[in-house]
Structure 1
Amino acid sequence: MSTAIALLKGSVTRVSQTFVSIIVAFFMMPFLIHELGDHWYGIWTVVGSLAAAYHLFDMGMASAVTRYVSRAFGLKDDHQANSIINTALIIYVAIAAAIIFVSVGASYASRLFIDAPPDKDIVQLLVLIIGISIALEFPFNALAGVANAKLRFHQVALTRIAMTLLGAGLTWWFISHGYGVLAVAVITFVTARISNLLYLLICKSAFPALKFSRHLASWGSSKELFQYSAWSFVIAIAYQLRNNVDNFVVAGFLSAASVTHYAIGLRLVDYVAQFLSQATNMFVPIFTGYHAQGNNDELHSKLLLVTRINLVLALIAGGGLVIFGQAFISRWMGPNYSDAYWVMVILLIGRMVGFANHPLNSAMYAANKHSIVAKIDMVEVGFNLVLSLIFVQYLGLIGVALGTMIPLLLLRLFVLPLFACRAIEMPVKDYYLSMARPILVICLPLAFIFFWIQRNAQITGYTDIILFATIMSIICAATGIKLAFSPSEKSELRKLVPGKRLKYLI
């Protein structure tokens, strides 16, 4: 299977995975909110944010394992790949033990923050179950990079689709039969274990020479991993803070019920971002190859191509969410959650800018220059926290969203391109010029559609949303394909499209 076809196959299945997740959440989120209530769903959201902090224990090791395993495969050195994997496994077992220890402490500490005595035991168990579940996932991170380097994206995606459907089915059944939030936690635990075992089978199939032995671990490999992972760890801290600090600010200054309202807007933005990321976020191994070969021209051209692809997708998806988001939230969750719309719009602006220039992040990882990304991320998170704490007191939920969006927008749009382009020896003007054409050719039809709908259409139900969103997507996608790319870039895109008839559309 060629690299282009493998990437296309991976992109399609990863997008399908995200689509299934969105459809499942479309039904499950209102179901859980209505069955559990705003209070318990808000607590479940906060516990999830707290549990996500456990991923910081990874210390950036997964990205280091991915890079060095990919490098070993590129050099066809199976022994080195096994050395890295087994070294990482020992490190991850120690990390898992530490997480279990911390989870026990956190479960008891959680009682201090709960007022109602009956809730204390439930929250304590939630924190403990989720913490142990995450701890048991860590040893499997030693295999990070195996499936990706072998381009088994589609197998991983299909596994996740199956686990999503299984988890949703079990959750619906147990909650419908009177079980509470603890059932959701137990189901999450069980499906995670099944997913881990299936991932192991995929990696073993992709890398038959995979061996597990403490004798294969080496100090040299651990030194390489820790040196690379240091800045990746900083990026991971920034990622977790960026994605979870808002929930704590809202819960602390407003209420647990307000977290639910904020989470609706945030969740929609997350779904769109995940959907887009699954489609194109697969280029670190490709960029790493170009960098290892010293082929800067190819690295630059592919970086600009992927940036334009990301920008076209971000404008279409983001524009659609702005146009139809208010009607969707009202129909999906009910009119009482209309305040989630502006939270969604504000967060969406920053996230779409971040997605559009994410190829720069991939290039930085490939070139071992990810310290630049780490420093920018930490500055962003610092401003995020400060602004959110200030704005929430005056603007409520909108203030928290603005505190998140403003630093992300400014740093990703102006600061990251300046430093990243310098690091990979690419003129920054080439980067900005590559973005100009997609912005122009997509924003014009989007603006026309927006104003036409405002004047001539009344969108109230799912049928209306699907119909108009489909028309909008077709118009904008056709315009983008025809006008947003150069002739040479269109030639590259045609290589990914099966069938002669479809190639003529590009």
Structure 2
Amino acid sequence: MRKTNQLKIGVMLSYVSMIVQNIITIVYTPVMLRLLGQNEYGLYQLVYSVVSYLGLLNFGFGSAYVRFYSRYRVKDDQEGIAKLNGMFMIVFTVIAMIALLAGGILVSNVNNLFSKSLTVSEIDTARILMLLMVINLAISFPSSVFDSFVTAHECYFFQRVISLLQTILNPFITLPLLLMGYKSVSLVVVTTILTVSKFIINYWYCTKKLKLKFIFKNTPISLLKEIGVFSFYIFINMIVDQINWSVDKFILGIFGGTTAVAIYAVGGQINTMYMSLSSSISSVFIPRVNKIVAMDENNNKELTELFTKVGRIQFIILAMVIGGFIVIGQYFINVWAGNDYNNAYYVALLLIVPVTVPLIQNLGIEIQRAKNMHKFRSIVYFFIAIGNVFMSIPLVQLFGEIGAALGTCLTMVLGNIILMNWYYQVKIKMDMKYFWKQISMLMPCVIVTVLLSLGLSKILVVNSIIHFLIIGIFYVCVYVMCLFTFGMNTYEKNLIRGPINKILKRGQT
């Protein structure tokens, strides 16, 4: 399959997978919440937030693979690629063993971690959950070598189909187990089985179809050192992400208990779905960015144009979602999760509003890495994340789950928005004035649509499914018409016209 077709199919399947994932989340989550109960769900989220810290043992090596693979591929150095594969497999196998050891220490200390906020039975369940999650994580480390190889080959069709199948199978297998009364343990068992299955399928595809080869001898130490230096700052960034998206639940688990964790987790689930809208499209451009930089590191004009083009598309999608959530999100949370999760609306807003800026600039992360200029971002984010911890502790004690989200919000504005946009302009040499000028052309449509919809919601109060649907449909129709008429450029309009014209032509034949 041609690379251009792979790219188009990759984007399409990314959004199909994302839509399916979000539909499943919307339908499955309320069922899961009611079957598990608020405390059991909070316990599951709490343990997951603790074990996820072991994912930091990746040390950023996974993100480094595509960059160094591109270097060898440009030179058609097959032996170099095989040595690179062998080195990464050795590194990740060692990391997996370290994860098992560290996980064993965590499991044996569950009581010491949460004795003040969990009951005896909850501690017993937490111990089982933690053990299974550690095993699942350890398996995922060597599996990531095959994932990275598929990404580097731009085989998006295979990659997205596997991801889509995993997304669909998880709830369909888990739900019957929950109905049989197996509670949160069943969630982790099913996830582990699917992780092992994906590992086996990826291994077969890479070795049989993509002819993946490993050379474990004569690995150049200089290459390992270079990758280590490159990955170190990605590792710092991983720590930052882990702190920003997991530490709140950990702090809430200590000071607030499982109920506060559950409420925050529902708001966090909205944030996760929101973030997936952006990463689905930007991820398929990673190899292209690395190729542009590999051929000409100073080609900032082409990078800025690609950065802006992708950013505008991401903003169009994200702005529609965030505007709609502002208008009818409160009612959605109450119906979806229940009245006990009312504060999840405010948690979600405090997370998704500031994260919108870094999401539409996701491709910039790959540009930094391709240029090997991600050091600044990692260091700044590290200190911002530490500030988030110190800010969140008193805010949690004062405002509970809303305080936790507020701490993340404030630090994100400073680091992700203000400092990073300065860095893109001054150091990376991206034309950020051009970028924001292009984004600002879309803003009037968003503001007008939200204000009109809020005005309608004052007349037609959102207190029933019918009113929810009426205002939701009104919002989407006004947004699309306004944007298509006044906001979109020719390229963006053609992205919509193209598929519609093809469908109409097929209908006429």
Normalising by the residue count of structure 2, what TM-score does the alignment of the two structures yield? 0.91
Runs of 5+ unmatched residues, structure 1: none
CA contact under 8 A between 2:277 and 2:318: conserved in structure 1?
Answer: no
2:464 alignment partner, SS class: coil
Answering whether residue 248 of structure 2 is matched by residue 272 of structure 1, we say no
Aligned amino acid, residue 478 of structure 2: I
Residue 286 of structure 2: aligned partner:
284
Structure 1 Cα separation of the partners of residues 274 and 221 of structure 2: 42
Q: How far did 1:171 drift? A: 1.3
Between 120-129 and 252-261, report the one with greater CA deviation: 120-129
CA offset digits 1:419-438 (Å, max 9, x no partner): 12223323442233232212
Segment drifting more, 493-502 vs 428-437 = 493-502
How far 1:373 moved relative to its partner?
1.8
2:180 alignment counterpart:
177
Q: Check the 8 A contact 1:15/1:276 in 2, yes or no.
A: no
CA distance in structure 2 between the partners assigned to 1:426 and 1:223 by the alignment: 29
Give the Cα separation in 1 of the matches to 2:75 and 2:456: 56
Q: Which residue of 2 aligns with 1:145?
A: 148
User: Greater shift after overlay, 387-396 or 132-141?
Assistant: 387-396
- Structure 2 CA distance for partners of 1:454 and 1:357, relative to 1, 3 Å: farther
Deviation at 1:161, TM superposition (A): 1.9
Query: 2-side partners of 1:136 and 1:496: how far apart?
Result: 44
Q: Kindly indicate whether residue 252 of structure 2 is the aligned counterpart of residue 250 of structure 1.
A: yes
Match of 1:452 in 2: 456
State the alpha-carbon separation in 2 of the partners of residues 335 and 125 from structure 1.
30
The aligned counterpart of 2:8 is: 8
Conserved 8 A contact 1:497-1:503: no
| Corresponding residue number in structure 2 for 1:96 | 96
1:302 matched to which residue of 2? 306
Deviation of the 1:97 alpha carbon? 0.6
CA contact (8 A) 1:85 1:143 kept: no
Aligned-partner Cα distance in 1 for 2:60–2:3: 27
Distance 1:76-1:402 versus aligned 2 partners, 3 A rule: same
Match runs of 1:69-80 below 5 Å? 69-80=69-80
Aligned counterparts of 1:484 and 1:28: Cα–Cα separation in 2: 35
Residue of structure 1 aligned with 2:131, choices 122, 125, 128: 128
Aligned to 1:477: 480
Residue aligning to 1:440: 444
C-alpha distance in structure 2 between counterparts of 1:467 and 1:206, whole Å: 50
Partner of 2:374: 370
Tell me what 1:32 maps to.
Answer: 32
Please give the alpha-carbon distance, in whole angstroms, between the structure 2 residues aligned to 1:158 and 1:283: 18
Native 8 Å contact 1:111 1:123 kept in 2:
no
1:5 Cα offset (Å): 3.3
Deviation string for 1:301-323 (max 9, x for gaps)? 11121222222222111111221
Partner of 2:21: 21
Partners of 1:252 and 1:358 lie apart in 2 by 33
Instruction: Provide the secondary structure at the position in 1 that maps to 2:37.
Output: helix
Cα separation, 1, equivalents of 2:75 and 2:498: 30
Aligned residues: 500
Instruction: Indicate if the aligned counterparts of 2:282 and 2:362 stay in contact, CA closer than 8 A.
Output: no
Q: CA deviation at 1:7?
A: 2.2
Q: Is the 8 A contact 1:14 1:154 kept in 2?
A: no
| Counterpart AA for 1:214 | F
Instruction: Find the residue that maps to 1:214 and give its secondary structure.
Output: coil
* Partner SS, residue 87 of structure 1: helix
**Aligned mate of 1:409, from 405, 410, 413:** 413
Aligned positions of 1:282-431 closer than 5 A: 282-294=284-296, 295-431=299-435
Counterpart of 2:434 in structure 1: which amino acid?
D
Q: In structure 1, what is the Cα distance between the partners aligned to 2:226 and 2:457? A: 56
- 1:210-247 Cα offsets, whole Å, 9 max, x none, are 11342374424322321210111111111111110110
CA contact (8 A) 1:347 1:401 kept: yes
Whether the 8 Å CA contact 1:13–1:157 is kept in 2: the answer is yes
Q: CA deviation at 1:282?
A: 2.5
Instruction: Check whether the contact 1:231–1:371 (CA below 8 A) recurs between aligned residues.
Output: yes
**2:48 alignment partner AA:** G
- Match for residue 226 of structure 2? 224
What secondary structure does 1:215 align onto?
coil
Residues 2 and 414 of structure 1, relative CA distance in 2, 3 Å threshold: farther
Distance in structure 2 (CA, Å) of the matches to 1:490 and 1:264: 33
Instruction: Say whether the 8 Å CA contact 1:62–1:142 is kept in structure 2.
Output: yes
Q: State how far apart, in whole Å, the 1-side matches of 2:185 and 2:411 are.
A: 37
Residue 203 of structure 1 and its aligned partner are, at CA, apart by 3.1
1:365-388 CA-partner distances (Å, limit 9, x unpaired): 221111122123213212221221
- The structural deviation recorded for 1:197 is 1.7
Alpha-carbon offset, residue 263 of structure 1:
0.9
CA contact (8 A) 2:323 2:446 kept: no
Instruction: Answer yes or no: is the 8 Å Cα contact 1:360–1:417 preserved in 2.
Output: no
Q: Which amino acid aligns with 2:259?
A: A
User: CA shift at 1:202, angstroms?
Assistant: 3.6
Residue 362 of structure 1 and its aligned partner are, at CA, apart by 2.3
Greater mean deviation of Cα atoms: 112-121 or 266-275: 112-121
Pairwise CA RMSD: 2.5
For residues 14-56 of structure 1, the C-alpha deviation after alignment (integer angstroms, 9 at most, x for no partner) is: 1221222222222332222222222221111011111111110
Shift of residue 468 of structure 1?
4.0
Deviation larger for 360-369 or 22-31:
22-31
Aligned 8 A contact 2:301 2:430 in 1: no
State the one-letter code of the partner of 1:412: N
CA distance in 1, matches of 2:330, 2:79: 55
User: Cα gap change, 1:495/1:270 in structure 2, threshold over 3 Å: closer, same or farther?
Assistant: closer
